[in-house]
């Protein structure tokens, strides 16, 4: 037993010096050095083993235990060499010099009954659903890293394969409790806002649309500015992760918001977000894998545009200007609890908006509310399934944007209820396939009725989707 | 309307059935693997709480006492690796990788490295 313990100590020491020591700085050069060093050690040890075997045969020299110890050590060294070579091969596939390169590409299919969805011709079945991204990042020092991600999508009429800068920032992580990010940073809003495009990382194909609308993804996706972040230990009360930010934002001109305005013959010429700020707090409770969180976001904006010649009531090309009377605010509360292979998610989002039409001095008020509850179970590494229920009110108090008329809160144009069943197959680490069924009541979001559903919408409708993604 | 809810219930029932079948089929293996955590020789800490270990392997704790920076390296996929993740991190291998990919694809961290050993038998434990 003593000799085995000695081998373990030796092996640990070898690992200290060769493998995991500069864990943050394992480079191709380091790995080559490891392989060469191990090769030399192996050669030396093999010679020793040959001598020891000879000596053991003569019953002189080292004891039997010592001989075995050294033989085992040789085997360990051999395995180290092989593994280091494997690692070298693995690292090569994801590195270009010192720069990490990763990406993904995905393809979806959507079929719906009655209504077309997300500008896709989904009633007939549509495969016009592509997404791709590639990112480059580099660790400059132990504290400093930087990178950028390019993203493009085409979902029906949205995206049009326009390549956009998804994020690009420098990150200085001074301490665990304080770090600084500057550049274009993903906005933390709830559990999935920053990964809403990375469908291959989520169980679902469509995140609950009450909280994460595909058509309006750029409204809260990323900001350009500065972030402070960190995690503060709270002793027996768990820990508190925070992220606070200020800055501005650019909206996706190929996204649903701009498209909707054009469809209403009020295209946007310019949209400036004057100021933007927010924070995200995540409390990791003492109960294992149970988190509670609150995200807050506010911004001020001014939109300028004109009326199209086809507008029903307004003179052609007359300008319109809208701005926030009070800062637009978003409050989002969330929780996640993981117990073994079960995971429970729940979120609630409230968006309050008070807009002023500068030209005719009219006001518009909107109180959007949405939330969902989801239960996911992972059966095996290969297979998971999930169910969620999502509910969305376009305006909880059911006024139209001009406060001139009031609709019933449950009017299908104001409400959307969605039962979703999903199953996910992870073929391997890099490739997955998902299937999803939605049973929907209402059409208050993502319908683009003037463009995609000119013949009207049906209150109860179903949707089926398949999506596959490859990432590296 | 009725047919719609029927199809929804049928789909849910099919999923539940699959859940039961696979749940029985995929019985957990006895986990008797002995786990050893190794670190850089510059790390003077000789003990660590399970909570801190989890934070290190999830990338939220990057500094140990004395200001030593650490970054996790894990085994390649193996029973030992899966047992380690389940026991100390509370995640399956898939969930663990997805967690790191989320950090990677939002620019918050590089990927957790997988090295140096592929098999449990690679270490004479």
For the stretch A171-226, pLDDT in tens is 999 999 999 999 999 999 999 999 999 988 999 999 999 999 999 888 889 999 99
pLDDT value for A49: 66
Q: What is the DSSP letter of A291?
A: E
Contacts of B16 (CB under 8 A, 6+ apart): none
Give chain B's domain count.
1
Distance of CA B101 to the CA centre of its chain: 12
Specify if B46 maps to a domain: yes
A449, HSE (Cβ side, Cα atoms, 13 Å): 11
pLDDT value for A98: 83
The ipTM of this complex is 0.77
- Is the pLDDT confidence value at A266 over 60? yes
The answer, for A104 touching chain B at a CB cutoff of 8 Å, is yes
Q: Is the Cβ pair A16, B106 closer than 8 Å?
A: no
- The encoded tokens of residue A310 equal 């086809």
* Structural contact between residues B71 and B61, judged by C-beta atoms closer than 8 angstroms: no
For the stretch A410-462, pLDDT in tens is 899 999 999 999 999 999 889 999 999 999 999 999 999 899 999 999 999 99
The answer, for A270 touching chain B at a CB cutoff of 8 Å, is no
Q: How many CB atoms lie within 10 A of CB B33?
A: 16
Instruction: Report d(CA A78, CA A439) in Å as an integer.
Output: 58
Q: Which residues of A touch B26 (CB under 8 A)?
A: 379-380
Report which of A329, A323, A327 is spatially closest to residue A305, judged by C-alpha positions. A323
Range of the structural domain that residue B36 is part of: 32-122
Handedness of CA B13, B15, B16, B17 (dihedral sign): positive
Specify if B1 maps to a domain: no
pLDDT value for B122: 47
Q: Which of B108, B112, B123 to mutate to test the interface with A (most CBs of A within 10 A)?
A: B108
- Tell me the pTM: 0.79
pLDDT value for B74: 87
Specify if B8 maps to a domain: no
The answer, for B98 touching chain A at a CB cutoff of 8 Å, is yes
Q: Is the Cβ pair B63, A167 closer than 8 Å?
A: no
Q: Is the Cβ pair A24, B60 closer than 8 Å?
A: no
The answer, for A312 touching chain B at a CB cutoff of 8 Å, is no
pLDDT value for A220: 83
Instruction: Report d(CA A73, CA A55) in Å as an integer.
Output: 18
Specify if B7 maps to a domain: no
Instruction: Report d(CA A466, CA A162) in Å as an integer.
Output: 23
Helix axes A2-18, A28-57, angle to 10 degrees: 150
For chain B of 125 residues, list the mean pLDDT of each consecutive stretch of 10: 65 62 45 73 82 91 85 83 88 88 92 62 41
The answer, for A124 touching chain B at a CB cutoff of 8 Å, is no
**Residue A324 backbone dihedrals phi, psi, to 5 degrees:** -75, 130
Cis before A52? omega within 30:
no
A382-401 CB burial, b ≥16 within 10 A, e <16:
ebbbbbbbbbbbbbbebbee
Nearest CB among B8, B61, B92 relative to A381 is that of B92
* Structural contact between residues A101 and A85, judged by C-beta atoms closer than 8 angstroms: no
pLDDT value for A6: 38
Distance of CA A121 to the CA centre of its chain: 27
The answer, for A429 touching chain B at a CB cutoff of 8 Å, is yes
Mean pLDDT of A258-269: 90
pLDDT value for A74: 46
Residue bearing the bigger pLDDT, A92 or B23: B23
- The position carrying tokens 């660790």 is A139
pLDDT value for B65: 79
Specify if B9 maps to a domain: no
- Is the pLDDT confidence value at A85 over 50? no
Report which of B24, B10, B92 is spatially closest to residue A376, judged by C-alpha positions. B92
Mean pLDDT of A341-368: 90
Q: Which residues of A touch B23 (CB under 8 A)?
A: 379
Specify if B10 maps to a domain: no
For the stretch A32-60, pLDDT in tens is 665 566 666 666 767 776 776 666 555 44
Nearest CB among A145, A194, A383 relative to B106 is that of A194
Residue bearing the bigger pLDDT, A34 or A24: A34
Q: What does the radius of gyration of chain B's CA atoms come to, in whole angstroms?
A: 20
Smallest Cα distance from B32 to chain A, Å: 18
Specify if B67 maps to a domain: yes
For the stretch A293-334, pLDDT in tens is 999 999 999 999 999 888 888 888 889 999 999 999 999 999
pLDDT value for B77: 76
Q: Is the Cβ pair A16, B60 closer than 8 Å?
A: no
Smallest Cα distance from B111 to chain A, Å: 9
For the stretch A125-181, pLDDT in tens is 999 999 999 999 999 998 999 999 999 999 999 999 999 999 999 999 999 999 999
Specify if B2 maps to a domain: no
């Amino acid at each position: 037993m003593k000799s085995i313990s000695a081998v373990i100590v030796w092996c640990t020491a070898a690992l200290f010096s060769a493998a995991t020591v500069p864990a943050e700085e394992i480079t191709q050069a380091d790995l080559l050095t490891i392989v060469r060093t191990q090769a030399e050690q192996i050669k030396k040890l093999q010679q020793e083993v040959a001598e020891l075997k000879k000596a053991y045969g003569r019953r002189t020299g080292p004891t039997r235990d010592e001989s075995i110890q050294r033989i085992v050590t040789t085997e360990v060294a051999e395995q180290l060499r092989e593994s280091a070579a494997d690692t070298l091969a693995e690292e090569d596939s994801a590195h270009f010099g010192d720069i990490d390169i990763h990406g993904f590409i995905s393809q979806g299919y959507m079929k719906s009954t009655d209504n077309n969805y997300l500008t896709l011709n989904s009633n007939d079945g549509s495969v016009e659903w592509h997404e791709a991204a590639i990112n480059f990042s580099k660790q400059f020092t132990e504290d400093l890293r930087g990178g950028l991600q390019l993203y493009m999508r085409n979902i029906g009429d949205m995206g049009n394969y326009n390549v956009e800068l998804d994020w690009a920032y420098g990150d200085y992580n001074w301490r665990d409790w304080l770090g600084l990010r500057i550049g274009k940073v993903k906005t933390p809003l709830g559990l999935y806002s920053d990964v809403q495009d990375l469908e291959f990382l989520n169980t679902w194909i469509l995140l609950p649309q009450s909280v994460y609308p595909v058509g309006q993804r750029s409204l809260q996706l990323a900001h350009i500015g500065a972030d402070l972040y960190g995690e503060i230990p709270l002793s027996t009360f768990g820990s508190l992760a925070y992220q606070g930010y200020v800055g501005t934002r650019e909206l996706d001109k190929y996204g649903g918001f701009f498209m909707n305005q054009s469809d209403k013959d009020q295209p946007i010429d310019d949209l400036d977000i004057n100021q933007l700020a927010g924070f995200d707090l995540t409390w990791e409770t003492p109960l294992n894998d149970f988190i509670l969180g609150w995200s807050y976001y506010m911004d001020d904006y001014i939109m300028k545009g004109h009326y199209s010649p086809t507008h029903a009531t307004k003179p052609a090309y007359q300008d319109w200007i809208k701005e926030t009377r009070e800062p637009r605010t978003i409050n989002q509360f969330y929780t996640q609890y993981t117990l073994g292979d079960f995971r429970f998610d729940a979120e609630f989002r409230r968006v309050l908006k008070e807009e002023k039409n500068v030209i005719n001095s009219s006001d518009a008020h909107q109180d959007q509310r949405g939330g969902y509850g989801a239960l996911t179970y992972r059966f095996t590494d290969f297979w998971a399934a999930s169910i969620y229920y999502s509910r969305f009110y376009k305006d909880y108090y059911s006024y139209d944007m001009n406060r001139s008329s009031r609709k019933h809160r449950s009017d299908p144009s104001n409400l959307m209820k969605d039962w979703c069943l999903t199953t996910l197959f992870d073929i391997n680490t890099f490739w997955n396939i998902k299937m999803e069924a939605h049973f929907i009541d209402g059409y208050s979001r993502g319908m683009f009725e003037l463009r995609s559903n000119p013949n009207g919408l049906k209150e109860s409708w179903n949707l089926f989707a398949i999506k596959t993604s490859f990432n590296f | 309307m009725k047919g719609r809810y029927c199809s929804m219930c049928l789909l849910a029932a099919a999923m539940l059935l699959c859940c039961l079948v696979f749940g029985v089929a995929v019985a957990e293996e006895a986990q008797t693997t002995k786990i050893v955590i190794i670190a850089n020789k510059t790390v003077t800490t000789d003990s660590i709480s399970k909570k801190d270990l989890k934070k290190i392997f999830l990338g939220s704790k990057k500094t140990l006492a004395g200001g030593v920076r650490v970054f996790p390296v894990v085994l390649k996929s193996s029973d030992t690796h899966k047992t380690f993740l389940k026991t100390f991190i509370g995640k399956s291998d898939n969930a663990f990788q997805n967690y790191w990919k989320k950090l990677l694809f939002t620019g918050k961290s590089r990927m957790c490295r997988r090295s140096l050993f592929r098999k449990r038998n690679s270490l004479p434990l």
